[in-house]
């Protein structure tokens, strides 16, 4: 039997490599032939145009090009078929690298050394052991757990906060609304790896940051956000940096992306900016499992990494 076609629908980047790799095994189109194109059985998407998926009668599953699926839910015509999100070792490793890189830079006083170098200053600051520093990971899912494991291996104390109770060896876990303040109170470096949902929107406020430990081995609290920009209030972060609630921040994501050139974040001396690049989806690693899942579904097997629509992630 002829395999159905894949609709590859993205905005914001050139999907050529995705197209080439998907086309090695299946017929791929960038647009349906009509609003009700019956030949399309799968959609591979990143910020697809609204309603493009709404009426495809034979659509069996939607594959998100990213680990986060908030981009899909902006579509009022999102059909009720399973949504598969990215869970891939390659992406997880990139995120672990980003988190470890940023935690170590704050812990080892990267900003201080950069300033010293500018001024040709040969001075050795006090070096605190990692076990004096508590890293709190908000969002202890696939990415958060991998980062937690790498940080514990480096000797950091690690706390994790999630929606449900999911214990992890070597990590002090908290969950739900009741666990949030105790989690923050025990955290020096806050790493945000939450999905953006109606429950997490704007969660990183000034008031939340006030609960972090400030009298700590680092000489202040630090924020690292590699989840989504809409989890945070940019203005609140700036306020917290300016009044000492936060010592420093590493931000990969922002309320508005690309970060507007007028944003004070760009030139803030306490902010380290990356352009939503903590863990980029690499088609060479992500297309093969997508194609395998399509084959598996057609053999009558269950899809993996299906989004919980009620929870929004």
* Residues acting as catalytic residues: 228, 276
- What does the angle CA 304 – CA 307 – CA 309 come to, to the nearest 5 degrees? 145
Q: Which stretch binds ligand OXD (CB under 6 A): 21-29, 66-74, 133-141, 235-243?
A: 66-74
Q: Does 144 bind ligand OXD (CB under 6 A)?
A: no
Q: Is 64 within 8 Å of 28 (Cβ atoms)?
A: no
User: What's the half-sphere exposure (Cβ side, CA atoms, 13 Å) at 135?
Assistant: 33
Residue (of 72, 68, 69) closest to 52 by Cα position: 72
Q: Does 92 bind ligand OXD (CB under 6 A)?
A: no
Chain positions contacting ligand NDP, by CB under 6 A: 66-68, 95, 139-144, 162-164, 166, 193-197, 199-200, 226-228, 252-253, 276, 278-279, 313
CB of 119 to ligand NDP, least distance (A): 33
CB of 194 to ligand OXD, least distance (A): 12
Residue number of the CB closest to ligand NDP reads 141
Q: How many residues does the structure list for the chain?
A: 313
- What does the angle CA 51 – CA 54 – CA 55 come to, to the nearest 5 degrees? 130
Nearer to ligand NDP, 30 or 306 (CB): 306
Q: Does 232 bind ligand OXD (CB under 6 A)?
A: no
Q: Does 67 bind ligand OXD (CB under 6 A)?
A: yes
Q: What's the CA gap between 313 and 68, in Å, rounded?
A: 7
In the set 68, 220, 229, 283, which binds ligand OXD (CB under 6 A)?
68
CB of 79 to ligand NDP, least distance (A): 21
CB atoms within 10 A of CB 82: 16
Q: How many helices (H) and strands (E) does the chain have?
A: 8, 12
140 binds, among ligand OXD, ligand NDP, none (CB under 5 to 8 A by kind): ligand NDP
Residue number of the CB closest to ligand OXD reads 66
Cβ-Cβ contacts under 8 Å for 235 (sequence gap 6 or more): none
């Amino acid at each position: 039997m002829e395999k159905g076609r894949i609709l590859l629908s993205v905005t914001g980047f050139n999907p050529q490599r995705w197209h080439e790799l998907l086309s090695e095994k299946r017929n791929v189109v960038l647009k349906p032939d009509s609003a009700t194109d019956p030949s399309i059985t799968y959609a591979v998407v990143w910020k697809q145009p609204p309603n493009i998926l709404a009426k495809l009668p034979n659509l069996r599953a939607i594959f998100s090009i990213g680990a986060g699926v908030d981009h899909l839910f902006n579509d009022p015509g999102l059909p009720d078929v399973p949504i598969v999100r990215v869970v891939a070792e390659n992406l997880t490793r990139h995120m672990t690298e980003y988190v470890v890189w940023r935690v170590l830079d704050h812990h080892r006083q990267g900003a201080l050394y950069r300033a010293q170098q500018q001024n040709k200053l040969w001075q050795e600051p006090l070096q605190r052991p990692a076990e004096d520093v508590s890293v709190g990971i908000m969002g202890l899912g696939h990415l958060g757990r991998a980062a937690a494991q790498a940080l514990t291996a480096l000797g950091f104390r690690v706390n994790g906060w999630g929606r449900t109770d999911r214990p992890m060896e070597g990590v002090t876990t908290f969950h739900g609304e009741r666990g949030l303040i105790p989690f923050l109170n025990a955290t020096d470096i806050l790493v945000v790896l939450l999905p953006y949902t109606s429950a997490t929107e704007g969660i990183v406020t000034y008031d939340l940051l006030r609960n972090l430990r400030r009298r700590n081995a680092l000489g202040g609290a630090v924020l690292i956000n590699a989840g989504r920009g809409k989890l945070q209030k940019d203005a609140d972060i700036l306020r917290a940096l300016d009044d000492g609630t936060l010592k420093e921040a590493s931000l990969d994501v922002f309320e508005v992306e690309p970060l507007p050139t007028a944003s004070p974040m760009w030139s803030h001396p306490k902010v380290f900016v990356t352009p939503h690049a903590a863990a980029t989806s690499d088609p060479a690693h992500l297309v093969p499992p997508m194609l395998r899942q399509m084959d598996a579904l057609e053999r009558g097997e269950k899809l993996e990494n299906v989004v919980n629509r009620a929870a929004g992630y």
